[in-house]
């Protein structure tokens, strides 16, 4: 599962958990849209590359550690015999101008009003190229790196950047087919190198998101919540298999997965038996059975035992749990 997709989903869950008028709701909605646009942009580039029938390896969502805690994050990496190309996808609509001071991409509406300012994608790409070169050098891999920004949205560029390669999705064909990239590796050697990069790939985990946003645990209700429309009601346990919304009457037999998922996406990477007991108002034995039923990993010992989700597979029950 893509971490980016889960990250977008986490912001959606954050909005469900926070009060309608919470100070950060707008910012979270903006972040959610931005991630969604990023995912869509990257998918467009990959899909387009797929139609070209190129024989070279194409990697995506590449995250390589340059130094402890410092990563290079690459959307799309095409591996040619003599060098790699980074395609940085930007999925932005509107009238766009690249301005030098401070360097950024400015978006205007029809009336010429400034709507948004983004970090300059050309500078971002230059950083990615420099960092990938550092990584290859550290690993003793002789391989060059080039790159381009690919605009995948409906944006109209009124003022292009002063330097750097930037073009629209439909120009990608000429760019890549024009690069014969003579010399260098054979196709087998390229696939070996692609495998090595894939093995060293360490996805960046942006969870839990609330501490990053400066949202305190105590600002949020963490128990089971209503999943009907935009209702923000809380669920009360009426009987063993009946949880009912206190606002709209929506019912579910199983609020557990969503509630645990929200905990791991928003609040903490770990959970204890005591926290599960409190979340659902269940006994210690039931909490143990519930935790054991999920594809969670376990750490610590005795009273200090905790459980965590590694975020690489969907959180799900792998066994049946009978809750008293």
CB of 224 to Zn ion, least distance (A): 11
**CA proximity to 107, closest of 158, 41, 163:** 158
Choice between 155 and 233, CB closer to Zn ion: 233
User: CA angle, 178 as apex, 172 and 181 as ends, to 5°?
Assistant: 115
CB of 251 to Zn ion, least distance (A): 10
Helices and strands in the chain: count of H runs, count of E runs: 9, 15
Site for Zn ion in 203-232 (CB under 5 A): 226, 228, 231
**Of positions 187, 248, 274, 285, contacts Zn ion by CB under 5 A:** 248
CB of 16 to Zn ion, least distance (A): 11
Considering only the stretches 159-167, 203-211, 241-249, 309-317, report the one whose residues sit in contact with Zn ion under the rule CB under 5 A.
241-249
Site for Zn ion in 257-286 (CB under 5 A): none
Task: Report the SS3 class of residue 100.
Answer: coil
Residue pair 60/76 in contact by the 8 Å Cβ criterion: yes
Show the DSSP H helices in the chain as ranges: 3-17, 25-51, 121-138, 172-177, 187-200, 209-213, 256-262, 273-280, 284-293
Residue pair 291/276 in contact by the 8 Å Cβ criterion: yes
**Of positions 4, 122, 245, 282, contacts Zn ion by CB under 5 A:** 245
* 316 scored as a contact of Zn ion (CB under 5 A): no
Choice between 80 and 245, CB closer to Zn ion: 245
Residue pair 290/207 in contact by the 8 Å Cβ criterion: no
* 250 scored as a contact of Zn ion (CB under 5 A): yes
Choice between 104 and 233, CB closer to Zn ion: 233
* 126 scored as a contact of Zn ion (CB under 5 A): no
Contacting residues toward Zn ion, per CB under 5 A: 226, 228, 231, 233, 245, 247-248, 250
């Amino acid at each position: 599962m893509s971490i980016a997709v889960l990250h977008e989903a986490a912001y959606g869950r954050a909005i469900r958990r926070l009060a309608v008028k919470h100070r950060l709701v707008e910012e979270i909605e903006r972040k959610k849209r931005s991630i969604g646009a990023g995912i869509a942009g990257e998918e467009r580039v990959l899909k387009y590359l797929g139609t070209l029938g190129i024989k070279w390896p194409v990697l995506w969502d590449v995250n390589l550690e340059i130094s402890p805690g410092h990563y290079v994050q690459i959307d799309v990496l095409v591996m040619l015999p003599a060098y790699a190309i980074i395609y940085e996808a930007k999925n932005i609509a509107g009238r766009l101008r690249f301005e030098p001071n401070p360097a950024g991409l400015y978006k205007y509406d029809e009336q010429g009003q400034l709507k948004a300012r983004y970090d300059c994608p050309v500078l971002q790409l230059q950083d990615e190229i420099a960092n990938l070169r550092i990584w290859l050098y550290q690993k003793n891999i002789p391989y060059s790196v080039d790159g381009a920004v690919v605009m995948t949205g409906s944006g109209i560029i009124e003022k292009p950047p002063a330097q750097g390669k930037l073009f629209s999705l439909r120009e990608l064909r000429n760019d890549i087919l024009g690069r014969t990239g003579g010399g260098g590796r054979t196709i087998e050697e390229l696939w070996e190198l692609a495998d090595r990069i894939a093995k060293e790939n360490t996805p960046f985990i942006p969870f839990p998101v609330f501490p990053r946003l400066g949202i305190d645990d105590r600002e949020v209700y963490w128990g089971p919540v209503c999943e009907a429309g935009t209702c923000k009601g809380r669920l009360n346990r009426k009987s063993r298999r009946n949880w009912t919304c206190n606002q709209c009457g929506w019912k579910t037999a199983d609020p557990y997965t969503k509630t645990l998922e929200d905990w791991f996406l928003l609040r903490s990477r770990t959970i204890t038996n005591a926290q599960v007991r409190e979340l659902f108002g269940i006994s210690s034995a039931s909490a143990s059975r519930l935790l054991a039923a999920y594809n969670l990993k376990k750490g610590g010992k005795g009273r200090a035992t905790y459980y965590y989700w590694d975020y690489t597979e969907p959180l799900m029950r792998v066994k049946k749990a009978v809750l008293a």
